[in-house]
Structure 1
Amino acid sequence: MSTPTTEPLNASQASLYQQLRAHLAELKLTTAAEHLPGVLEQAAAEGLSMTAALERLLGLEVEATEARRLAGRLRFASLPSPATLEGFDLEAAPGLDPALVNELASCRYLESATNVLLIGPPGVGKTHMAVGLARKAAEAGYRTYFTTAADLAARCHKAAIEGRWATTMRFYAGPTLLVIDELGYLPLPAEAASALFQVVSQRYLKTSIILTTNRGVGSWGEVLGDTTVAAALLDRLLHRSVVLNLDGDSYRLRAHQARADTLRRTTTGTPRPLQ
């Protein structure tokens, strides 16, 4: 990148400019060093004070630093899709209160270690909403991690065999927000109930969990294969929680119907389903 061209620099000014870039590079302010020529040109053209020019230069560095940190938090979060809350169709989920969804989007529930349970049949958007809330948490600066109930159980089982149980428990206890997706969709091994209980217990009243399930809480004993553990688990999850019951038509079925309607209109010119 060239040096500022608004006015030619004399030897002394050129030396100072190179020293300034070297200082920025030494301090690892790489974005500020990259944008220094442009900011100096803007300062000269706009008549900016030294303070204003410095604020603009460091502001660019701060923006780049925040972007890198967010990218790192999103990599760690392991979100399974690019879904966002803004992309969630609230009109297709009449049981949801938009005001409550907006409140959750503020991430204030994380400050009180409140849990969120998303309950409903397959396809109504539970995972979409969980991913959207996790993304909001990461964007707000919170450490977030997404897993499925089956993956959590498998990882804990492997850790127990390899003698890494304590390390794995610390891992799941660490993030401010832990998302556990799809409880009840797949049969879980016998030790899964214990692993899930240990994770929930370690986070109890300290950090938040978002859990999605297609099974009502009354059937968790059947899902986990242990009614006693299920009751203890629910006691901790529900003590400080928000429960959202999602219903309505399946997202995937509605998307399939929309594609079918589009194909029908394209090929036949018929605006309505053929009888």
Structure 2
Amino acid sequence: MSTSPMQVSEARRFQQLRGHLSYLKLNHAAEALNRVLDQARTERMSLTAALERLLEIEAEATEARKLAARERFACLPEPWTLADFAAQPGVDEKLIRALATLRFLDDAFNVLFVGPPGVGKTMLSVALGRAAVDAGHRVCFTTATELAAKCHKAALEGRWKTCMRFFAGPKLLIIDELGYLPLPEDGASALFQVINQRYLKSSTILTTNAGIADWAGAFGDATVAAAMLDRLLHRAAVARIDGPSYRLRGHQNQADAMRKGVNARVS
């Protein structure tokens, strides 16, 4: 069976179109071209609709790639979202709902979660970080000790300015567990300089078990603590979280379930 000149022309045009898409690095559109053309013939789609579907496939792939890159950069320790947070008695739910809108990022507001271990400070900060990543913002998660260690290493290797630019860059920087472990003197200074770099430019979420009045003792330097608080609290929301530990609550629930099981077998 011979192939008509029209069929040859159409096949050549298809290959040229696919080549153009690949040359423009629209690789997902190139791969989907044959499928979209078949769909257009079957469903009698207009040329505009077929073209829109082809570009939609490429746009979705590009957004997925960018989201994956933001997720890698963020280094969030858990896949928590705000839906995972079971309210503690001391949580200001109205404040959490306001933070969930992410408008605080536009205003370069800071957020401080203060409370004892296990009440959900890290969970809330990670959940807000996750929401910011999904909304297209660059986010970076670190602990206070990790930040201090990275800055110390950068100073020894002559990369101090590069390190400061790294921590100044994200739209949202999450610093977890301030006060859990003592910071060395240069660690407290490095943390202050990071906060100072971001002051009035980008938002920082900080979680701590140390009350604000106790920061001088946590840092070992009242001057550094006062200067850091001055910048953090100038434009900030402070959420004090009280209540039972999630971990202890889970342990208690597990113990209660085991006890009920034993009692049921005995009876």
Q: Which residue in the other structure is 2:167 paired with? A: 172
Q: Which residue in the other structure is 1:142 paired with? A: 137
Q: Which residue in the other structure is 2:18 paired with? A: 21
Q: Which residue in the other structure is 1:5 paired with? A: none
> Where do 1:1-275 residues align within 5 Å?
10-90=7-87, 93-269=88-264
Deviation at 1:169, TM superposition (A): 1.0
Q: Which residue in the other structure is 1:6 paired with? A: none
The structure with the greater share of residues assigned to helix is 2
Cα shift readout 1:124-160 (whole Å, capped 9, x = no counterpart): 1111111111111111111111110001111111222
Cα shift readout 1:158-194 (whole Å, capped 9, x = no counterpart): 2222222111111111111111000010111122221
| Paired letter, 1:143 | R
Deviation at 1:10, TM superposition (A): 2.1
Q: Mark the runs of 5 or more structure 2 residues left unpaired by the alignment.
A: 1-5
SS in 2 for 1:186: coil
For 1:58 and 1:263, the matched residues in 2 are separated by 56
| Paired letter, 2:34 | P
| Paired letter, 1:48 | M
Percent identity of equivalent pairs: 60
TM-score scaled by structure 1?
0.90
When the two chains are superposed, the root-mean-square deviation of aligned CA atoms in Å is 1.7
For 2:121 and 2:263, the matched residues in 1 are separated by 35
Deviation at 1:103, TM superposition (A): 2.2
| Paired letter, 2:254 | R
Q: Kindly tell me: are residues 116 and 15 of structure 1, through their superposed partners in 2, closer, same or farther at Cα, counting changes over 3 Å?
A: same
Number of equivalences: 261
**Which has the larger displacement, 258-267 or 99-108?**
258-267
For 2:79 and 2:258, the matched residues in 1 are separated by 26
**Which has the larger displacement, 42-51 or 69-78?**
42-51
Q: Mark the runs of 5 or more structure 1 residues left unpaired by the alignment.
A: 1-8
Deviation at 1:16, TM superposition (A): 1.4
For 1:24 and 1:259, the matched residues in 2 are separated by 57
For 1:266 and 1:24, the matched residues in 2 are separated by 63
SS in 2 for 1:13: helix
**Which has the larger displacement, 114-123 or 189-198?**
189-198
TM-score scaled by structure 2?
0.93
